[in-house]
Amino acid sequence: MKLKLGLAALLGATVLFARDIIVPASELPRNAQDFISKNFKTAQIALVKKDIDSYDVTLNDGTEIDFIITGEWKDVDGKYKALPNSILPNIMPKISASSNAQIIEVSREINGYKFELSNQLKIYTDAQGNILGQKFDY
């Protein structure tokens, strides 16, 4: 019986700590705050949610940015708006030019990046921006 109660308490604590909680923007790590101010100069932070291993930030223009707990970005979603090339200045202009479309989402992958473009094309690159593959997402 004690084992069952202990497991139930552990499960309850896990569920409690796994939930997103709303935190003030000032709680974001400094590098996350710097990333936002550098790349989204006209937008303001509207909402910050924190869970056990990440921060989910929503800007007042609708852009959503996911950061790992250390403050490094892992995903930037413009919600169908073009993202600024300053996020990855050595790679993003090349991707936009090669596809004649705007980048609306970028994600860090294990060995590079995934770009989603306004023409529904997904482009996968290595860390240096060399295109590894692409596909249309209909």
Predicted pLDDT at 6: 54
Taking domain 82-137, whether its CATH number is 3.30.420.10 is answered by no
In which band, very low, low, confident or very high, does the pLDDT at 10 lie, cut at 50, 70 and 90? low
List the end-to-end C-alpha distance of the chain, in Å, as a whole number. Answer: 53
Strands (E) across the chain are located at 21-22, 45-50, 54-59, 64-68, 73-77, 103-109, 112-117, 121-126, 131-136
DSSP 2: H
**Fold classified for 20-75:** Inhibitor of vertebrate lysozyme, Ivy (3.40.1420)
Mean pLDDT (whole number) for 39-47: 96
Rounded CA separation 7/72 (Å): 34
Q: What does the domain layout of the chain look like in residue ranges?
A: 20-75, 82-137
Contact at 8 Å (CB) between 118 and 80? yes
Mean pLDDT (whole number) for 36-44: 96
20-75 shares its CATH topology with 82-137: yes
pTM, entire model: 0.83
Predicted pLDDT at 20: 87
Please tell me which of 2-11, 65-74, 97-106 the model is most confident about, judged by mean pLDDT: 65-74
